[in-house]
């Protein structure tokens, strides 16, 4: 394990590529690390430059890691660019350039520096609308844009075992998929531009409902006087089994939530889900209620607690 908590794994042998990674947060930092450990030549950019310097120090033994002052500088020689930032506007700033305060954008974004034919894979959980917007902008410049949100959380990023849902042109996806496997266990194209973000929304709808059900089940069992660690082991061998039960059930019983995917992040994601549902007419009554339950958890001081902290409302 590296000092940054990255678990090195076996990597598929493919030709070394010149790549850039924009955004070194809790997900991007280890994802970029796996690309370097897989033998790719990585240039990184982060809004807080000290983080980029730290990353370069950690991976100094790999293929000449570099950092850049702007996204445009970072991508200058890259065949592929990976991005993982916070939200739609962060994404626009990194890809199109920072706003200048007068309705224009400074030409320091990735698209201004990418060479013709290069591919940008965006791992931000963002709206389908911004994915389609950037896809169109990329095509006008002779570039490729793939929306590629991930599932698996911080642990998945550290272990190089993320699931990646991609939307975009099939030819660009086929070129990018082998490189993306450096930090993934599955990289799948689910449709055209925007489809990756929509698939991630489906993922978050499932998780929200599962966690509320698991919270109610554990709270019920504890009120009934059951040994819930034992009960979870029993029902985990039957139809109630899920990743959330296997990986979060015992910590929920123990009232432990200082890890994992933060409530603030889930509320951001569910906001995107509910906005899309208003646009396409989907009915999401359970998701809407669980979103408000997460607002309750935030009000309890749990903004950075793991999403399994829904159970705190029931105690």
Tell me the C-alpha distance between 147 and 295, whole Å.
28
E strand or H helix at 150: strand 150-151
Task: Report residue 115 CA to chain centroid gap.
Answer: 25
Contacts of 159 (CB under 8 A, 6+ apart): 7, 9
Q: How many CB atoms lie within 10 A of CB 197?
A: 27
Angle at 204 between CA 232 and CA 144, to 5 degrees: 140
Task: Report residue 71 CA to chain centroid gap.
Answer: 19
Catalytic residue from among 51, 200, 223, 312: 200
Tell me the C-alpha distance between 279 and 165, whole Å.
21
Structure-token pair, residue 281: 């007419």
Catalytic site includes residue 312:
no
Cα distance from N-terminal residue to C-terminal residue, the chain: 37
Per DSSP, the three-state class of 66 is: strand
Tell me the C-alpha distance between 164 and 180, whole Å.
9
- The residues annotated with a catalytic role in the active site are 200
């Amino acid at each position: 394990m590296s000092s940054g908590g990255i678990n090195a794994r076996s990597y598929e042998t493919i030709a070394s590529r010149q790549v850039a990674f924009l955004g070194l947060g809790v997900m991007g930092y280890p994802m970029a690390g796996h690309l370097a450990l897989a033998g790719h030549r990585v240039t990184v950019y982060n809004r807080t430059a000290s983080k980029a310097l730290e990353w370069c120090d950690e991976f100094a033994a790999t293929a000449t890691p570099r950092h850049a002052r702007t996204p445009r500088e970072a991508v200058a020689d890259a065949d592929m660019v990976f991005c993982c930032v916070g939200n739609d506007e962060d994404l626009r700033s990194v890809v199109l350039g920072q706003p200048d305060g007068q309705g224009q954008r400074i030409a320091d974004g990735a698209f201004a520096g990418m060479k013709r034919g290069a591919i940008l894979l965006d791992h931000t959980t963002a709206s389908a609308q911004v994915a389609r917007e950037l896809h169109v902008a990329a095509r006008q410049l002779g570039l490729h844009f793939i929306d590629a949100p991930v599932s698996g959380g911080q642990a998945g990023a550290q272990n190089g075992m993320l699931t990646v849902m991609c939307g975009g042109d099939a030819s660009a996806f086929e070129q990018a998929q082998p490189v993306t496997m450096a930090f993934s266990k599955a990289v799948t194209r689910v449709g055209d531009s925007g489809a990756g973000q929509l698939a991630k929304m489906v993922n978050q709808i499932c998780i929200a409902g599962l966690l509320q059900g698991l919270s109610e089940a554990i709270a019920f069992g504890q009120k009934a006087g059951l040994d819930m660690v034992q009960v979870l082991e029993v029902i985990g061998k039957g139809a109630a089994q899920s990743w959330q039960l296997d990986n979060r059930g015992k910590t929920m019983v123990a009232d432990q939530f200082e890890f994992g995917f933060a409530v603030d992040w889930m509320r951001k994601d569910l906001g995107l889900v509910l906005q899309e549902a208003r646009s396409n007419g989907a009915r999401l009554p359970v998701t809407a209620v669980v979103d408000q339950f997460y607002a309750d958890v935030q009000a309890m001081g749990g903004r950075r607690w793991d999403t399994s902290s829904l159970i705190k409302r029931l105690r």
